[in-house]
Amino acid sequence: MTGSIDIARREGAPEAWERRRRLAGIGLMCLALIGFTGIDSSAKWLGHTLPPLEIAFFRNLVAFLAAAAIFAPWRVPGAWRSRRPLLQIVRGLCLLGSTVFNFMALRHLQLAETMSISFSAPMMIALLSAIFLGERIGLGRWVLITVGFAGVVVVAQPSAGGFQPAMLLAFANVACYAVYAIVTRKLAGVDTSASMLIISAGLPVVALAPWLPAGWVWPEGLQTWIVLVIMGLCGAAGHFLLILSFARAPASVVAPFTYTQILWMTLSGWLLFGDVPGTSTLAGGAIVVASGLLLLWLEHRPARPSTM
């Protein structure tokens, strides 16, 4: 009965139904960013004692174990199958590359520098979605995406020390994440969200395991193990919400809301590391919030009636 009502709603008001799906996708993306902030905050803390590859391994191992427990094969067999295994492999490797490149860049660059580079991802995702997915991006959205990026630059204030080779690692992170987002959107209507989560977490575990013995550092103390588990759970939750988001809205619609992560990163830095936000952070954050609210308004406003 509920299914027939939902179908009737879609048939009676398809534009309103599609608008609700887009808004749901935006909300899920914003929730996913809280999980991603947990990953970055944990990795920043763990980076003082553990190498990047090991941190990436534990981040994916815990995420895989959590997903495997929730979507056990005897309960959800479809979660362990894929109709497009090659795309799933590409997606998993892109996520692995993004994670490793990001952790490596953080060892050599200031957080402000890596953050300002990483927030160029929405523009790259919007461009790739127009090329490979055929998504239409209006002038208004392009303007607001650019304004949001400007707000992030105001917050980050990257140093004027010139180009550093390690910046290539940050750009590689952006490229991998952009391809990951596009492939996620491509797979959203083909494979289940559970299968995408399990494969994207399991593949990096298998790929990283052979490289660990050479530089293995045993995690010391209960607190370190707790942070490793929290990081993995944040990864599982964040990427599952991201998958659900891309299943409901075009990549070009939800990607600009990744700018709002600057708010959670600022709050996390203040609470966990004592980084007090300055004037530039507050000003840039206001710009990001304003651009996000205007993007929400673009999605929420009713479509103009046709004059034809």
pLDDT value at position 4?
Answer: 47
- Is residue 44 in some structural domain? yes
Residue 220 has pLDDT above 60, yes or no: yes
Torsion sign (Cα): 70, 227, 255, 267: positive
Structure token digits, residue 161? 């020390």
Domain that residue 226 falls in: 34-137+160-252
pLDDT exceeds cutoff 50 at 129: yes
Q: Closest Cα to residue 208, out of 136, 100, 62?
A: 100
Q: What is the pLDDT of residue 51?
A: 92
Instruction: Kindly indicate the confidence band of residue 301, based on its pLDDT and cuts at 50, 70 and 90.
Output: low
Pick the more confident residue, 187 or 106: 187
**What domain count does the chain have?**
1
- What end-to-end distance do the CA atoms of the chain give, in Å? 36
For residue 176, count other CB atoms closer than 10 A to its CB: 21
Judge whether 9 lies within some domain.
no
The answer as to whether 149 is a domain residue is: no
86 Cα distance to chain centroid: 21
Under the banding of pLDDT at 50, 70 and 90, the label for residue 86 is very high
Q: What angle do CA 35, 39, 43 make, to 5 degrees?
A: 165
Residues 76 and 195: their CA atoms lie apart, in Å, by: 10
Q: What is the pLDDT of residue 159?
A: 56
Answer whether 0.75 is exceeded by the pTM.
Answer: yes
192 has a pLDDT exceeding 80? yes
Average pLDDT, the chain: 83
52-66, 149-163, 171-185, range with the lowest pLDDT: 149-163
* Residue % of the chain over a pLDDT of 70: 87
Residue at 142 is within a domain: no
Residue 302 in this model has a pLDDT that exceeds 60: no
Taking the C-alpha atoms of residue 38 and residue 264, their distance in angstroms, rounded to an integer, is 9
The answer to whether the CB of 176 falls within 8 A of the CB of 98 is yes
Instruction: Look at residues 257, 235, 234 and name the one whose alpha carbon lies nearest to residue 245.
Output: 257
User: For 33, phi and psi rounded to 5 degrees?
Assistant: -65, -25
Q: Which of 32-41, 176-185, 295-304 has the lowest mean pLDDT?
A: 295-304
pLDDT of 298 reads: 73
What is the rounded CA–CA span in Å between residue 176 and residue 178?
6
Residue 156 has pLDDT above 50, yes or no: yes
Q: Is residue 152 part of a domain?
A: no
- Has residue 193 been placed in a domain? yes
The answer to the question of residue 302 being in a domain is: no
Q: What whole-number distance in Å separates Cα of residue 275 and Cα of residue 111?
A: 12
Closest CA to 180 of 254, 95, 258, 238: 95
- Position 1 scores a pLDDT of 47
306 — pLDDT class (breaks 50, 70, 90):
very low
pLDDT over threshold 80, residue 182: yes
Confidence of residue 258 (pLDDT cuts 50, 70, 90): confident
Angle between helices 139-156 and 261-273 (to 10 degrees): 20
pLDDT at 100 over 70: yes
13 band by pLDDT with thresholds 50, 70 and 90: low
CA distances from 102 to 56, 108, 224 (A): 10, 10, 20
**Residue 118: how many CB atoms within 10 A of its CB?**
21
pLDDT tens digit sequence for 221-257: 999 999 999 999 999 999 999 999 998 988 878 888 8
Supply the pLDDT for residue 269. 80
- Kindly report, residue by residue over 239-249, the tens digit of the pLDDT: 999 999 998 98
Percentage with pLDDT > 90 across the chain: 40
In angstroms, rounded to a whole number, what is the distance separating the alpha carbons of residues 15 and 62? 40
Within a domain: residue 146? Answer: no
Listed residue (241, 275, 270) closest to 257, CA to CA: 241
Confidence label for 183 from pLDDT (cuts 50, 70 and 90): very high
